[in-house]
Amino acid sequence: MSQSQETLSNLLQETRRFPPPAELAESANVTAEAYEEAAADRLGFWARQAERLTWAKHWDTVLDWSNPPFAKWFVGGELNVAYNCVDRHVEAGLGARVAYHWEGEPGDTRTITYAELQREVSKAANALLELGVRKGDRVAIYLPMIPELPISMLACARIGATHSVVFGGFSADALRTRIDDAQAKVVITADGGYRRGKPSALKPTVDEAVKDTPSIEHVVVVRRTGEQVAENPRDVWWHDLVERQPDEHTPEPVDSEHPLYILYTSGTTGKPKGILHTSGGYLTQVAYTHHAVFDLKPKTDVYWCTADIGWVTGHSYIVYGPLANGATSVIYEGTPDTPHKGRWWEVIQKYKVTIFYTAPTAIRTCMKWGDEIPAEFDLSSLRVLGSVGEPINPEAYVWYRENIGGGRCPVVDTWWQTETGAIMVSPLPGVTEGKPGAAMRPLPGVEADVVDDQAQSVPNGGGGFLVVREPWPSMLRTIWGDDERYVKTYWSRFDGLYFAGDGAKKDDDGDIWLLGRVDDVMLVSGHNISTTEVESALVSHPKVAEAAVVGSTDPVTGQAIVAFVIPRGNAGAEVEGEDFVAELRGHVAKTLGPIAKPRQIMIVPELPKTRSGKIMRRLLRDVAENRSLGDVTTLTDSSVMDLISQKLPSAK
């Protein structure tokens, strides 16, 4: 979006509105007053939210911003994050409450109460101490979605060690780079986990990675699948080490700014960035947002976030936010289609899940599989639905609301990033009238805005860049070991503003719509066109489940729009023909205007996605421009690109 600020904003005619259900609005945790309260005294507002936590020593100053962009929140305060997530609930008499209903992919289950979690975390903390891990040391965690994953994270927090969770789908190379960058002393892993009905090994990847990581002193191995693993001198079995530990441990208070974790984001270029989150401010904002955005009632709700704990969504909204609030959550180990495509809905039915949080990519996949699958299950327990990770196309939003939410549950589209640590822009389910496709307003206490090239706030109806004007409690504190890159990446594009890298627009009511990464915006005949808007137009066609759009160099228009489309499961055979392509081009022209009409549309069976489910438009650009493919290492399934290439006409 380098030149004009013109967007398609006013062309996208989304007029459906969904007011909050009356019953929810009446008993909502957070009402419209919160916005006023925060606007009147932002720091006072956050100070009150910090009172949700139990502090070993109260802070003196809410925010120290004397050395921007390096923030310190709740300065002088001390607390222990694991104590806040576990022990204090047990001390309050809630030890028998379920913290996690864990469901393994093969159907094995484990129910973990807060009292049990306290014992398990204490044992794991004692085990880490026995291995010589001390406050400030880094621990790498490379585990499947099993209870030992949150237990390990909390054990680190309990002793003041900083964890670095590496998603279990990453390669030995990726793991090695992350271990080296953080100089981790210990890595906690498992023989493997279950995925798509089979054991999927992890230990060989760790063996490969730690051949070359001098900082690693011990490899702790959880037995999950029982498959044979190589045993190396540094290895120790979790069950040998942890099970014999005392189940009591006194948590150590740490400074509010003590590093809680590092989480690496790959970004599009260069070496991964180690995003650093600290303790007091982070826990304050994840606890507040989980309470406010999901309207969590810890006594009665059963909450399920389907993300992998290896991503920030899992850190903030499976582990820290829900536990700080004393919630009962579901954790599911495997894939949504194992052993059948209704597995998620079966889990909701089984545990009577009331709050469900997932990603647009998953919703669109379920749309593709067909409406009849969720229809077979009792989803009447649900009351709030959430979305995160990408812009949610209006059609996917409405499908989610109708087919999963039974038309009665509000959908909260939550915008945030690994860097922001917690939700920043989102509807409040008891306050906001929902608009399909809009993330709506910054949460109380968050100063997000949309600005133009010159850093000026755009008027309603305008488009530009999403920024944050003021520091927020859960913001990243730096890039691990690279302050300069932190300043350059996030605080240099606009003087004094945090630059998120996302395009956005304000509609006529001033509500915010996300338009995708700035790198993905196309410039067609002098118009900025967002990939998101064209994708949403395609998905609004009844026969389309999912679409990805890229800009391809064009001699006439500068860039031309190329679309890749996956038809819905029930769309029939005609979706292969030229007529269908013509129909789709016409549909986009009608919805967005002729300027947005794709030059070319390819019907494909799958789309390339990153391991966290985001469409890799970079690879599709390579295809559209007839180049050989760039780096495919972050791709979930590399055979997808073969499937797409087979569909290509030999000439463009």
CA distance 274 to 143: 19
Q: Which residue's CB is nearer to ligand WT7, number 250 or number 492?
A: 492
At position 321, the amino acid (one-letter code) is: G
Nearer to ligand WT7, 205 or 532 (CB): 532
Shortest distance, position 136 Cβ to ligand WT7, whole Å: 25
Is 389 annotated among the ligand-binding residues?
yes
197 annotated binding-site participant: yes
**517 is an annotated ligand-binding site residue:** yes
Q: Which is nearer to ligand WT7, 122 or 177 (CB)?
A: 177
The minimum distance between CB 627 and ligand WT7, in angstroms, equals 24
Nearer to ligand WT7, 192 or 613 (CB): 613
Between 432 and 612, CB nearer to ligand WT7: 612
Give the DSSP letter string of 187-249: EEEESEEEETTEEEE-HHHHHHHHTT-TT--EEEEE-SS-------TTEEEHHHHTTTS-S--
Q: How far is the CB of 640 from ligand WT7 (least distance, A)?
A: 20
**Quick check: 369 and 569 in contact, CB under 8 A?**
yes
- Helices (H) and strands (E) counted in the chain, each on its own, are 22, 29
Nearer to ligand WT7, 203 or 277 (CB): 277
Asked whether residue 313 is marked as a ligand-binding residue, the answer is: yes
How many CB atoms sit inside 10 A of residue 265's CB? Answer: 16
- Interface residues toward ligand WT7, by CB under 6 A: 265, 312-313, 388-391, 413-418, 439, 500-502, 514, 517, 612
Q: Which residue(s) pair with 78 in the sheet? A: 57, 255
Cis, bond preceding 594 (omega within 30 deg of 0): no
> Taking a C-beta distance cutoff of 8 angstroms, is the pair 122, 287 a contact?
no
Q: Do the annotations mark residue 544 as ligand-binding?
A: yes
118, 292, 321, 356 from 98: Cα distances, Å: 12, 21, 15, 17
Instruction: Fill in the DSSP letter of residue 501.
Output: E
| Least distance to ligand WT7, CB of residue 67, Å | 25
- In the complex, the smallest distance separating the C-beta of residue 520 from ligand WT7, rounded to whole angstroms, is 9
HEC readout, 581-597: HHHHHHHHHHHHCHHHC
CB of 68 to ligand WT7, least distance (A): 21
* Beta carbon of residue 307, minimum distance to ligand WT7 (angstroms, whole number): 7
How does DSSP assign 446-478, residue by residue?
--EEEE-TTSPBPPTT-EEEEEE-S--TT----
Q: How far is the CB of 472 from ligand WT7 (least distance, A)?
A: 14
Phi-psi region of 212 (alpha: psi -120 to 50; beta: other; left: phi over 0): alpha
Tokens of 118: 């306290």
Q: Which tokens sit at 594?
A: 């002729």
Q: Is residue 343 annotated as involved in ligand binding?
A: no
Output 333 or 390, the one with its CB closest to ligand WT7.
390
Instruction: Assess contact for 84 and 502: CB atoms under 8 A.
Output: no
Secondary structure of 537-585 in the HEC alphabet? Answer: HHHCCCCEEEEEEEEEEECCCEEEEEEEEEECCCCCHHHHCHHHHHHHH
Does 250 show up as a binding residue in the annotation?
A: no
Dist CA 448 CA 277 (whole Å)? 20
Instruction: Pick the closer one to ligand WT7 by CB: 434 or 567.
Output: 434
502 labeled binding residue: yes
The residue among 272 and 389 lying less far from ligand WT7, judged by its C-beta, is: 389
Shortest CA distance to 172 belongs to which of 160, 161, 162, 180? 180
> Does the annotation flag 116 for ligand binding?
no
**468: its two tokens:** 């944050």
**Residue located via tokens 């498959």:** 227
Beta strands in 26-97 (DSSP E): 61-67, 70-75, 78-79
- What are 268's two structure tokens? 């599009």
Tell me 415's DSSP state: B
- Which of 216, 209, 261 is CA-nearest to residue 234? 216
Residue 198 assigned as binding residue? yes
State the nearest-atom distance from the C-beta of 424 to ligand WT7, in Å. Answer: 9
Tell me how far, at minimum, the Cβ of 233 lies from ligand WT7, in Å: 36
408 belongs to an annotated ligand binding site: no
Closest to ligand WT7 by CB, 294 vs 415, is 415
Cα angle for residues 282, 287, 290 (degrees, 5° grid): 120
Q: Residue 141: which region, alpha, beta or left (left: phi > 0; alpha: psi -120 to 50)? A: beta
Kindly tell me which of 160 and 391 has the beta carbon lying closer to ligand WT7: 391
Minimum CB separation from ligand WT7 for residue 502, in Å?
5
Complex with ligand WT7: residue 312 or 443, whichever CB lies closer: 312
Judge whether 83 and 482 are in contact, CB under 8 Å.
Answer: no
Pick from 219, 212, 156: which is nearest to 185 by CA? 219
181 versus 255: smaller Cβ distance to ligand WT7: 181
Burial readout 467-477 (b: 16 or more C-beta within 10 A, e: otherwise): bbbbbbbbbbb
R_g (Cα) of the chain, nearest Å: 24
Q: 483, 75 in Cβ contact below 8 A? A: no
Residue 629 C-beta: closest distance to ligand WT7, Å:
22
Minimum gap (Å) between residue 46 Cβ and ligand WT7:
20
Mark the binding-site residues for CoA, compressed into ranges. 195-198, 313, 525
Mark the binding-site residues for Mg(2+), compressed into ranges. 539, 541, 544
Mark the binding-site residues, compressed into ranges. 195-198, 313, 389-391, 413-418, 502, 517, 525, 539, 541, 544
Mark the binding-site residues for ATP, compressed into ranges. 389-391, 413-418, 502, 517
